[in-house]
Structure 1
C-alpha cells in the first residue's frame, strides 16, 4: 500500500523539493498551500494533489490530514507557530499518523534569546507529548539566506550581516528536503529522533565572501555590523522580513552565532540520504548571475 503523505508549506523553499523527492519515489503526495497560483499549478502538474489550507485554522488542518499516513510540518518565520503546532498535533493524533517530520531550527533551545527559536523548542516538546511519532529536523542557517542579499551584493559588492567571525556550516533547502523525504519514506526507522542538519563545511562570513568572490569573478567584501545595527538596517528596508518578530529573531540568533553556540558539524545528511550535502560553492554555481 502506498504511503499517503501530506506536505505543508509545499510551495516554499523546502516543501517544493520534498514534494518532488516523494513523487519520484512513488508516494501519494497531498500538497498543502496557502493559495492557488503558478507554484501550486506546477506541483499539481508534477502529480501532487493540491489542498488549499491554513495552518492556523484547525478545521483546515484537520481536513488536509484526512486519509494521510505521515506528514511534513513546516511553519514560516512568523508569529503563530505554537497555535499551529497545537492544531497540527491534535489533527495528527485523530488521524493516527505513523510519523510527523517537524522542521525546527538549530537555534531551537530553551533559553534562546530569539522568540522564534524558543517557540520552536516549545513546539518540539508539544509534538513529543502528542502521542504521535515525530522526528525533529534542526537545520542550521539555510544557504538561501544569502539570496535575500543578492541585490546588495550585485550593486555594492558586499555582504552586510551580524555574525561577526562565527563559523557555521550552512545547508541548502534541497538537502534538508532530501533528508525529510527519506525519513517520510521510512518512518519506523526515524521516529523519536532529533537530527541536527549541517552542510559539509564550516565557514566564517569572510570565507563566504571569498568563495562568492571566486564564483562571480570580483571582490565581494564582508561588512561586520552589530546585531542591533543589522536590525535597524532591516527595519529601514523593503525586505519581506521587515517585521518586529523577524528582526527580533535575527538579533537573537546573531548573538547565538557570535558566541559560538551554533558551531559544529555532523554526517546526518549523508547517513540518511546516501549523498553528501552540497557545498556553498556548489550552491552559488547553481545560481549563475544571481549575484552579478
Structure 2
C-alpha cells in the first residue's frame, strides 16, 4: 500500500518546508485548506483538499486513504482543532500521527504550551501510533520585534536575564520529515527540539547589533506595561495572558532548556540563531 501523508498547517513556516521536503523525497502528499482553490502551498503532485479544523464534519473526507498524518493545529482554538483532527484520524485508522506540540507543554504548560496538553492526552489514549514534537520558541518569532527595532532600536519584553534556546522552524520541518519516514524508530516517542544555544534577550539584541550594524538594546519593561502594549495593539486578552505567562517563565529560568534531539535525529547540529539571522536580516531592516 502506497503511503499518503496529510499535512495540516501547510501554509506556515513549518508545514510549508515540510511539504517541500516530502515532495522532494518523492512521497504522495495531501494538504488541508479551507479554500479548495488554494494552491499556494502545493508543489508538484501535492493534493489540495478542502477542510476546516474547526469543523469536525469536514475532516473525514480529508483523511480518507491517509496512512500518515502531520498534525499541526494553528489555532486559535488548538484543543478543539486537535480533537477534531485526531478523532477523524481514529476513524480513518491512520497508521502514524506526528503531532506538533510545544516544549511549554512539559514545562508547566507555559505560554501556548497549555493549549497543546489536551491534544497530547487524546493522542496517547487513541490507540494510534504516535510521535510528539516539543519544539522551543521559534527563531521566526523574534520578527515580532521588528517594528520596535526599526522605531526605537530596542526590544521591549519582560524577560529579564532568562534564557531560551530558540529553534529554526526549518529544523522542525526536517525532523518531522525524518519521523514521518522512519515510523518504526519513532513510535511512542517525544522529541524535545531546541536550538544549540540558550540566549537571553540581550544576547539576541547583540546578534542583531552585529548583523544590522547599529546598536540594538533589550529593555526589560514591567509586565504590566508589556500587557498594556499588547492590548493596545489589538491582541485578544487570552493571548496577552499567554504571553505574560511565557515571559514570566523565561524570566524565572523555566524555559532554559537545551537538548541534542535535533542533532541526533538529523546527524547535524541544530541551526544557530546567528546563522538564521544572517539569512533573514532583511526582515528586521
Q: If the TM-score is normalised by the length of the shorter chain, which range does it land in? A: over 0.9
For residues 174-228 of structure 1, the C-alpha deviation after alignment (integer angstroms, 9 at most, x for no partner) is: 1111111110111121111111110011111111100110001010011112333
For residues 95-134 of structure 1, the C-alpha deviation after alignment (integer angstroms, 9 at most, x for no partner) is: 11111111111111484364x4223122211110011111
Aligned length: 285
Q: 1:168-183 alignment to 2 at 5 Å?
A: 168-183=164-179
SS of the counterpart of 2:104?
Answer: coil
Aligned partner of 1:102 in structure 2 is 99
Cα distance in 1 between the residues matched to 2:262 and 2:80: 30
Contact 1:102 1:136 (C-alpha < 8 Å) held by counterparts = yes
Aligned partner of 2:114 in structure 1 is 118
Instruction: Work out which of the residue numbers 79, 84, 105 in structure 2 matches 1:87.
Output: 84
Contact 2:52 2:58 (C-alpha < 8 Å) held by counterparts = yes
Unaligned runs of 5+ in 2: none
Unaligned runs of 5+ in 1: none
Aligned partner of 2:241 in structure 1 is 248
Contact 2:5 2:29 (C-alpha < 8 Å) held by counterparts = yes
Contact 2:104 2:110 (C-alpha < 8 Å) held by counterparts = no
Aligned partner of 1:133 in structure 2 is 129
Cα distance in 1 between the residues matched to 2:3 and 2:85: 19
Aligned partner of 1:151 in structure 2 is 147
Cα distance in 2 between the residues matched to 1:13 and 1:35: 19
Cα distance in 2 between the residues matched to 1:163 and 1:195: 26
| Structure 1 vs Structure 2 CA RMSD | 1.7
Cα distance in 2 between the residues matched to 1:125 and 1:265: 24
Give the structure-1-normalised TM-score: 0.92
Instruction: Work out which of the residue numbers 275, 278, 287 in structure 1 matches 2:280.
Output: 287
CA distance change for structure 1 residues 278 and 109 in 2, over 3 Å: closer, same or farther?
closer
Cα distance in 2 between the residues matched to 1:47 and 1:150: 36
SS of the counterpart of 1:138?
Answer: strand
Question: How much does 1:288 deviate?
Answer: 3.4
Aligned partner of 1:17 in structure 2 is 17
Give the structure-2-normalised TM-score: 0.94
Q: Does 1:43 align with 2:41?
A: yes
Contact 1:143 1:173 (C-alpha < 8 Å) held by counterparts = yes
